[in-house]
Structure 1
Amino acid sequence: MILAVLQARLGSSRLPGKALATLQGEPMILRQLERLRGARTLSKIIVATSADAADDALAGLVVSRGYAVHRGAGADILDRIARCAEAVGSVSHVVRLKGDAPFVDAGVVDQAVRLALASGADYTSNRVHRTYPAGLEVEVITARALRIAAAETRDHEARISPTAAIRERPDRYSQAHLKARRDSSRLDWRVKTPADLAFARSIYDALYPADPGFSMGDVLDLVESRQDIGRFAA
């Protein structure tokens, strides 16, 4: 089973509650889940959030729309993801995705999963050698590697950045790297500030009505053709 874990919380110093901010009339977290449903390689999608009361509204919304939620440790994200995979059972790979990425591309997710399966790597991503815009990161980790890393003592940084314990040890965990045909790594499409949210809304307003499953290429074409949008893209 290929399990996608979408990591999200409502706490944010710069943009509190951003997961519930609307894009074309729906909360951002639901738009991400909608887009992930287009990935053909995923067996199951779960939103992983904290057990804190502050995230009750997020968990409640996701469940009310028919999606699964796993709630765990707020600070130790790697432990939360590992326990999520353990609870599901029969998981061969976990696809880790972040909740501030409303342009997550199902096609890119599929490419990463297929590379992971073909290479047999413990860790596959487009993150180590960056060619994709920030916000389109995909990390595919074998359940075994995830389980081993989560069980070991880690420093504070590794707990905040859950895959650091794996991706920074290529000597221990084999790796494969997905690269785009065109280097767009200078772009940052994550939603971390009000300005980022305004950019995301402008993209959704322009592309979503005609094609809810718009791709990374569609966004790149739009920001290149529309100066009013493109100036906020980098």
Structure 2
Amino acid sequence: MNIGIITQARMTSSRLPGKILKEVKGKSLLTYHIERLKHSGFPVIVATTTNETDNPVIDFCINKGIPYSRGSEENVLSRFYNAAVENNLDIIVRVTSDCPLIDPHLIRNSMEKYLKFNNENLYVSNVIDRTFARGFDFEIFSFRLLEDAYKNATESADLEHVTPYIRKNIKGDTEFYDIKQSKNHNDLRITVDTAEDFQLIQELIVTFDADLLPYNGIEEILLQHPELIAINAHIEQKKV
């Protein structure tokens, strides 16, 4: 089984352009993101667009020796499919590059659970019945499910967000497994989409070395410091 993490990345965020290459302590958010993902033990592939505005992402990947794939800005599903084909993946972990503090061991442990099922119709994630802070998001699915979505999805939302078609379970044979924790921290926000989000990440890394901590350590810092939560508590996540 070839397992790979595909992360989508682009420079033209509507609310915070260029966010993934913004730096904290001399390192870009994309560097933190990929360095943490590599601790999972799985290869990481960056899926970006063919737009010239994303040439800096390609330069980053070349300089860091990270595999990349370029495709449509709007049809992210096709971008993921092509990245999976180019890297001969059997199992895909989907993440997004606006999560610089994503937890690699959470992904690794969840993959071990996924593999035990030995079921290519299985979709595993922590994003449907959400109990983790937003920013630790991941989805695991087979190439077969990805290919089925690529060949059959037609609605713009399905193409833009990659997995909605899989979640619709139109054929009725997809099985779902939610990764959850006992405490519900889904109201915490550790993803980066706005200047306030970046401010929080900066504070977490500079003051608390959050880039060296697991997800529960980061969540605990926030719970102990409500002033940190307040930095971006008013930010609404974009609707899928």
What is the deviation of 1:11?
A: 0.6
Q: Measure the CA separation in 2 of the matches of 1:169 and 1:106.
A: 28
* 1:180 to 2:181 alignment: yes
SS in 2 for 1:231: helix
TM-score normalised over the length of structure 1: 0.92
Structure 1 range deviating more: 224-233 or 11-20: 224-233
1:77-156 to 2 correspondences below 5 Å: 77-89=76-88, 91-119=89-117, 120=119, 121-156=121-156
Which ranges in structure 2 are unaligned for 5 or more consecutive residues?
234-240
Q: Measure the CA separation in 2 of the matches of 1:154 and 1:114.
A: 32
What is the deviation of 1:178?
A: 0.7
Q: What is the aligned partner in structure 2 of residue 8 from structure 1?
A: 9
How many residues in Structure 1 have an aligned counterpart in Structure 2?
A: 229
Sequence identity of aligned pairs in percent? 23
Following superposition, which runs of at least 4 residues in structure 1 exceed 6 angstroms of deviation? none
SS in 2 for 1:114: helix
Q: Measure the CA separation in 1 of the matches of 2:169 and 2:15.
A: 32
Letter in 2 for 1:137: D
**Residues 75-128 of structure 1 deviation map (CA, whole Å, 9 limit, x = unaligned):** 111111011110111x22000000111110011111221121122252110111
Q: What is the aligned partner in structure 1 of residue 208 from structure 2?
A: 207
1:38-53 to 2 correspondences below 5 Å: 38-40=39-41, 42=42, 44-53=43-52
The answer to whether the 8 Å contact 2:7/2:45 transfers is yes
Q: What is the aligned partner in structure 2 of residue 191 from structure 1?
A: 192
What is the deviation of 1:13?
A: 1.2
SS in 2 for 1:6: strand
Q: What is the aligned partner in structure 1 of residue 168 from structure 2?
A: 168
Q: What is the aligned partner in structure 2 of residue 218 from structure 1?
A: 217
What is the deviation of 1:207?
A: 3.0
Q: Measure the CA separation in 1 of the matches of 2:153 and 2:108.
A: 32
Letter in 1 for 2:46: V
What is the deviation of 1:3?
A: 0.7
Q: Measure the CA separation in 2 of the matches of 1:158 and 1:116.
A: 23
Cα 1:153–1:220, aligned 2, differ >3 Å: closer, same or farther? Answer: closer
Structure 1 range deviating more: 133-142 or 213-222: 213-222
Q: What is the aligned partner in structure 2 of residue 21 from structure 1?
A: 22
Structure 1 range deviating more: 96-105 or 166-175: 166-175
TM-score normalised over the length of structure 2: 0.90
Q: Measure the CA separation in 2 of the matches of 1:156 and 1:98.
A: 19
What is the deviation of 1:227?
A: 4.2
Letter in 2 for 1:181: S
Q: Measure the CA separation in 1 of the matches of 2:168 and 2:204.
A: 34
Q: Measure the CA separation in 2 of the matches of 1:150 and 1:79.
A: 6
**Residues 52-81 of structure 1 deviation map (CA, whole Å, 9 limit, x = unaligned):** 111001111122111111111111111110
SS in 1 for 2:207: helix
Letter in 2 for 1:152: N
Letter in 2 for 1:81: F
Cα 1:28–1:219, aligned 2, differ >3 Å: closer, same or farther? Answer: same
Q: Measure the CA separation in 1 of the matches of 2:222 and 2:145.
A: 38
The answer to whether the 8 Å contact 1:112/1:138 transfers is no
Q: Measure the CA separation in 1 of the matches of 2:62 and 2:30.
A: 12
Letter in 2 for 1:54: T
The answer to whether the 8 Å contact 1:115/1:176 transfers is no
Which ranges in structure 1 are unaligned for 5 or more consecutive residues?
none
The answer to whether the 8 Å contact 2:7/2:44 transfers is yes
